[in-house]
Structure 1
C-alpha cells in the first residue's frame, strides 16, 4: 500500500494548534526569584516574557519582552532552564501553549532599583523566597516556579507540563 502525502498546507491544517511564549528567570543576589505582578491576568505573578511574534525565535522573544516589561536590556547568552507545556484550555485559550524559560542570571540591588514597569501590563515586581512565593501562587504555578528554580540551582533543564486551568 502506497503512502499518500498531503501538500504541506493541508497537512499542517490537521496538526494541533499551539502558541509559544518565552521568558527570563532572574533571582536577586540572595537567590530569591524575581517576578512581575500582571495587571490583566487571573494568576498575577509571572516572569518577564511574553508570546512570540512572527519571525522571532524563543530567545529573541525573551530578551525583547524582558526589555519591554522591565527596561532590562539583557545581554547574556541563552541558557534554557526549562520548557513548559500547557494543554488546550478550551474557550479561555483554545490552543496548546509551549513556553521556553531561559536563565536571566542575578539582578543586583542597583539593577532592581532601575526596573521600569509598563503600568498597562504590570503593577509591581517582587523578590521573595520560595516559601513566600508558595503562599502567593496557585499550586500549579508555584510548582513550575519551584522546578525552574531547582533546574537553575542544579545546572540542569526541566520539562513541566500543566493541564487546562492550572
Structure 2
C-alpha cells in the first residue's frame, strides 16, 4: 500500500472494471422455469428476461425495463434477490461481469401465452422441467439454473461465481 493518496479519478483508473446485468427469473404455476431463446448467442441460448444496466440505473430497474422490452410484461415486485452472479474477464470481454437475478414469480398459462418477444433478441419461449432443461443448456448455464431454483426453494440467496468469459 502506498503512503501517497491518489486523487479519486486516478485511483478509480487502478480499480477492476466490471459490467453489470440484472434479470428476472420466472416459473409457471408448476415451478417449471420459463426461458427465452436468444437469437444472438449460440453459447448461451436459453436466458431469462434481462440485460446490461444503463448508466444511472439500479439493478431492479434494469430487470423490470429489460423484461418489459423483451417480453411485453410489466413487473412491479416485490423485489426479491435470488442470486448474485460473478464472472472474470476473458478473451471475448475485457471486464468482469456482476449480475443480479430477481424472482419474477409464477406465471399463469395465459400470461406465458401473452409474452410478446422482441425478435431482435429472442425467438422462442419455453417452459420445461429442470430435468428437461438439462438437454438444452450448457453445463455452466444449467448449474446457474439449479442454483437459482434452490435459492427460490430455500429462501437463501445463491452466490454463483462461475460465470467467467473464458469457460
TM-score range, shorter chain: over 0.9
Contact 2:93–2:165 (8 Å) recurs in 1: no
Counting only pairs closer than 5 Å after superposition, residues 63-142 of structure 1 correspond to structure 2 as: 63-90=64-91, 92-142=92-142
Shift of 1:3: 2.6
Return the alpha-carbon distance in structure 2 between the equivalents of residues 46 and 89 of structure 1.
21
Residue in 2 that maps onto 1:7: 7
- 1:155 paired to 2:136: no
Q: Equivalent residue of 2:147, what SS?
A: helix
TM-score, normalised on structure 1?
A: 0.96
Shift of 1:156: 1.2
Residue in 1 that maps onto 2:145: 145
Return the alpha-carbon distance in structure 2 between the equivalents of residues 74 and 63 of structure 1.
6
Counting only pairs closer than 5 Å after superposition, residues 18-97 of structure 1 correspond to structure 2 as: 18-42=18-42, 43-90=44-91, 92-97=92-97
Q: What are structure 2's unaligned runs of at least 5 residues?
A: none
Moved over 4 A (4+): none
Return the alpha-carbon distance in structure 1 between the equivalents of residues 144 and 18 of structure 2.
19
What is the aligned length? 165
What RMSD, in angstroms, separates the aligned Cα atoms of the two structures? Answer: 1.3
Return the alpha-carbon distance in structure 1 between the equivalents of residues 15 and 2 of structure 2.
22
TM-score, normalised on structure 2?
A: 0.95
Contact 2:89–2:166 (8 Å) recurs in 1: no
Shift of 1:165: 2.9
